[in-house]
Amino acid sequence: MEILVKKYAQKLVDAGLAAPSGPGAPLVGGLDQTLVWNTTAPEIPMLEKIFQHLNINSLVFLRPRFPYDLIIRFLAGRALKSGGAILPRDCETRTFLHDLPVVDQWDIHAIVQALKQRKIVIIQGNARKNGFLAPAVIAPGTVSPEQGFVHISSVCFACFVAFFNNYLAGLKTGQHDPEMDLVFDQVLPFLQNGVPASPDLMHGPFSREIDVYTAMAQAGRKIVDYGLVDSYFGNLSCCWNNTLYISQTGASLDELTGCIDPVPLDGSSTAGITASSELTAHLETVARTGCRTILHGHPRFCVIASMDCDPAQKAACAFSDKCHTHCPVPRHIGSVPIVPGEVGTGPFGLCNTLPRACDTSNSVIVYGHGVFVTGKIDFTQAFSSLVAVETLCKNRFLEQVRHLRHA
Amino acid sequence: MYGWTGKIARIDLTRRKIAVQTLSPDTCARYLGGRGMGGFFLQPAATLDWDHPDVPVCLFTGPLTATAAPTSGRCHMVSISPLTGLMADASLGGKIGVQLKRAGWDGIVITGKSDTPVGIDISDNDITLVTAKNLWGMTTDAVHQHLNPKKAGLACIGPAGENRVRFAAVITDRYHAAGRTGLGLCLGAKRLKYILVSGTGRTRVKDPEQLKKARQDICRLTAASPALMGRYGFSRMGTGAMYDLMDNRHMMPTDNFSATWFGPAKELNAAAYARAYSPKKHGCRGCHILCKKISTRTSAGTAMPEFETMSHFTALVGLQDIDLVTAANQRCNSLGMDTISAAVTLACFREITQKDFTPASLLALLDDIALDRGEGKSLKKGAAAYAGSMGQPDAAMAVKGLELPAYDPRGAYGMALGFAMSTRGGCHLRAYPISHEILRKPVATDRFSFSGKARIIKIAEDSNAVVDSLIACKFIFFAAGLEEYARVFSAVTGQDVTAQDLLAAGERIYYNERIINSCRGFDARHDDLPARFFTQPGTGTSQIRVPPIDRAAFLQAKAAYYAVRGLTRNGLPTRTKAEQLGVPWKSL
Ligand code: SF4
Ligand SMILES: [Zn+2]
């Protein structure tokens, strides 16, 4: 437990979600027979009470770092005025977290009540009331602090996407307000950091199995370094010697060693049962396009852009409450198609839409979810496509905002 | 009430009397249904011998049964085990649960003993005891054919349950075995051959709209689950999909748990069965996963073996023939015996006698066990009793008398702790750590470490006690959680509960089982694993080391578990904790 609590605290810092020290440093607790923390902090006595009220074995507490603090404070404030929860719009968060409850005080009963129902709680309320600095997010786990880490990363990602989505939609419909403008202006410097040039990755074709594993681990690490996924969602695969090597479900892309499943293309083994939930989509795409590599990430501006639908079109659309599964319009950003589809293999699963779209484009965006890119030989081409799509989406977004605000 | 019918039938086979009892809302809320309710009705008989007429066999549905809640079609049977001496319980698949609920019953509690073979026929409110003399001696297939239940649900026993095989199973709706802990013998001892149920009612649901929404949330999660709905998941490949994983992880119990890797395994996996039998999907009522597989080619209509059976009838007993596995599975179901216990008992026999099996000799022994002939006379008592009678108790790979399933504990330490602590003996399903140790859900844990496992196991036991009581199928929890099921529960019953409230009920249900077992003389001495696991390594590679389990680390985890569970250092429940949880206290 000592190792785990430290590991996930550090991961939050590395992901840019937490400060390394001070009141913004993450607190991670793990309980077996005794409770251990990654550090000491004035909030801990209160957090320990949560362990007494809930049947859990771990907990993560985070005051998110800029710009997530501003964004979450804004969304949580609005949520408190409506139903008391932020409703994420991206598919993955919606699938796994459903909604994000907000409480308005640093109060054990309110917090416990919310955590009895959902995997996370956001604490908002008047800044510094009772000396408490809001916003903060708490996420417990029943197996490992990794659960709290994943859920908190998802909250930050979902709120980021939700804010910019709402903002863009608000600008288009005239429903934005000065408060939103202010948050946007404050966050803008963060958006202007350019994406670095694509890294130098191992070159294919690969002649040995070990090279496949190494190249995958390297590409996975870089996706995380470049911020092209939230927490560790996302996956990648490499087809070699009639076998698809694919990252395992829930595998941290920056720690892929030992977490790659070899899946024979002839179906002679079921070892792929622990492979990523998108295994079917990968297999079909490989079969249709003959590509060798696939990368799937959740670059945020791709996700935001994928959900940007013309208000007039939306108002007239019969599927406007089911865009992520039923969107009937062939939409593109540049030449990159956007397809609907849920995680996995259900009737509306992206395995039904994505592979076909890959026939004509080596980058495909899945509505409200992320991007899949294919490569012919190794991960080099795929990685630069991933960076290129995200850059395109981000520039387009900033341009739209600039334009709409001037108008 | 919504969800529950609030009504159970008490069936006394000695006096041939049937009484209706109402359940208070409080009892329902505290014990939910299924396993929880069964434990509640069993507790007063906790000190009696397993075959005492006053020991009930309880069959309970749960508040979610016969609603749109995903995987809610199962029901749960509870009694005292003739195999282990502990509380006995097992989950029943098929459609009998749904039929019982639709007939208007939350459950039935069967006591007494009939002089002559009997069947219970339930049709809505009408419950009749019917002579089953003509069915006595029949296999479960023959009973099914004879009674031809059509839409009705049927649970029955085969010759094994009649001939006092201590690991006799109850078979429901032809394909579904409630295998573990010898419940087939519990029915056999009461001379109860079958229970046939049909119902026409509906479960009252408080908020159908909310239920629909909660159902969608769960279905979305299952669609995203590789283990359930993925290309190699249970829905497409059956539970046999686990076989390759156990092979790759070097944790396949081989040669009676003396090794953990079986050379020919690659040819004996689920894909091999798919090629040979082109199975189609089948499942329990109310389930969209449909993990059961039925052959459409060779011996069409035969159920494909589950993972445990595939593994134990190959690696464990030293055979490599998928047709034999299918035949052994079919034979066990038909005779009404648990495949896991049967295979482990045979593996124990092979180790002690040093005689290898042929497919024919193995099938013949299965017959001998069920029909009480030859070597079968001693093997029918299970591995522990057999090994004991041969003066080699260490050759029995069982915990508290229940033979171990197909996960070698040297390859997963949560599993090791789960086996040892389980209230029904060597069982993987009480804590089901395979979820995080192997399938990486909700997140992966280090399978070669006890770190954090005591509390993880305790929480998972509570959670699975809830699952067995609601009722839902354990498999769906590879994808969904109690968070989602609490919403389902609230929609069905109208009671505003959270996942944590349900877990509190789970803890109560589990503690009650500890109380029952303590009344039967079980304590810390019994919460242990066979010595082999602490002294002999498994079969590792340069990448995967499979050392013996460190005994000191195991004992430390066990002590931590007792502390977390609220037991004494001797593994016994306390009155204070029982009162705190609101469980009636009983002691020896
Ligand atoms: S998953 Fe399988 S065992 Fe579970 S309810 Fe569905 S069919 Fe039955
Ligand atoms: Zn994704």
Q: What is the pLDDT of residues B425-442, one digit of tens each?
A: 999 999 999 989 998 888
Q: What is the pLDDT of residues B376-434, one digit of tens each?
A: 999 999 999 999 999 999 999 999 999 999 999 999 999 999 999 999 999 999 999 99
3-state SS track over B362-430: HHHHHHHHHHCCCCHHHHCCCHHHHHHHCCCHHHCCEECCEECCCCCHHHCHHHHHHHHHCCCCCCCCC
Average pLDDT over residues A283-292: 96
Q: What is the pLDDT of residues B5-16, one digit of tens each?
A: 999 999 999 999
pLDDT at A92: 76
Residue in A32, A33, A250 nearest the CB of B444:
A250
- Say how far apart CA B348 and CA B397 lie, in whole Å: 7
- H/E element, A53: helix A44-53
- Asked if B230's CB is within 8 angstroms of A273's CB, the reply is yes
In this structure, the residue with its CA closest to atom 7 of ligand 1 is: B283
B518 neighbors B578 (Cβ within 8 angstroms) = no
Q: Relative to the alpha carbon of B284, which ligand is closest? A: 1
Query: Is B91 within the bounds of a domain?
Result: yes
pTM: 0.93
B244 neighbors B269 (Cβ within 8 angstroms) = yes
3-state SS track over B40-72: HHHHHHCCCCCCCCCCCEEEECCCCCCCCCCCC
What is the torsional sign of CA A23, A25, A29, A35?
A: negative
A271 neighbors B244 (Cβ within 8 angstroms) = yes
- Asked if B223's CB is within 8 angstroms of A342's CB, the reply is yes
Residue in A263, A267, A273 nearest the CB of B245:
A273
Q: How far is CA A49 from the centre of its chain?
A: 30
Task: Give the DSSP letter of residue B316.
Answer: I
Q: What is the pLDDT of residues B78-126, one digit of tens each?
A: 999 999 999 999 999 999 999 999 999 999 999 999 999 999 999 999 9
Position B550: which residue type? Answer: D
Q: What is the pLDDT of residues B51-76, one digit of tens each?
A: 999 999 999 999 999 999 999 999 99
- Asked if A344's CB is within 8 angstroms of B271's CB, the reply is no
Nearest atom within ligand 1 for CA of residue B291: 2
Q: How far is CA B97 from the centre of its chain?
A: 15
Q: What is the CATH number of the domain that holds B130?
A: 3.60.9.10
Query: Is B60 within the bounds of a domain?
Result: yes
Query: Is B107 within the bounds of a domain?
Result: yes
A86 neighbors A76 (Cβ within 8 angstroms) = yes
Position A331: which residue type? Answer: R
User: Into how many domains does chain B fold?
Assistant: 1
Query: Is B475 within the bounds of a domain?
Result: no
Does residue B64 line the site of ligand 1, with CB under 6 A? no
Query: Is B225 within the bounds of a domain?
Result: no
Q: Tell me the shortest Cα–Cα distance from B27 to chain A, in angstroms.
A: 22
Q: What is the pLDDT of residues A147-205, one digit of tens each?
A: 999 999 999 999 999 999 999 999 999 888 899 999 999 999 988 777 677 889 999 89
A147 neighbors A68 (Cβ within 8 angstroms) = no
Does residue B429 line the site of ligand 1, with CB under 6 A? no
B422 neighbors B527 (Cβ within 8 angstroms) = no
- Asked if B441's CB is within 8 angstroms of A249's CB, the reply is yes
Query: Is B516 within the bounds of a domain?
Result: no
- Say how far apart CA A263 and CA A239 lie, in whole Å: 9
Most confident stretch, A219-228, B182-191, B446-455, B473-482: B182-191
Structural domains of chain A sorted by starting position, each given as residue range(s) with its CATH number in brackets:
2-191 (3.40.225.10), 209-405 (3.40.225.10)
Q: Do you know the residue count of chain A?
A: 407
Nearest atom within ligand 1 for CA of residue B73: 5
Does A342 lie at the interface with B, CB-CB under 8 angstroms? Answer: yes
Residue B172 is part of which domain span? 7-198
Residues of B in contact with A54 (CB under 8 A): 500
Q: Which two tokens stand for residue B480?
A: 């969904």
Query: Is B28 within the bounds of a domain?
Result: yes
Whether residue A13 has pLDDT greater than 90: yes
pLDDT at B332: 98
Query: Is B255 within the bounds of a domain?
Result: no
Place of tokens 């609603």: B67
Best to test chain A binding among B232, B243, B545 (most A CBs inside 10 Å): B232
Residues of A in contact with B560 (CB under 8 A): 32-33
End-to-end CA distance of chain B: 36
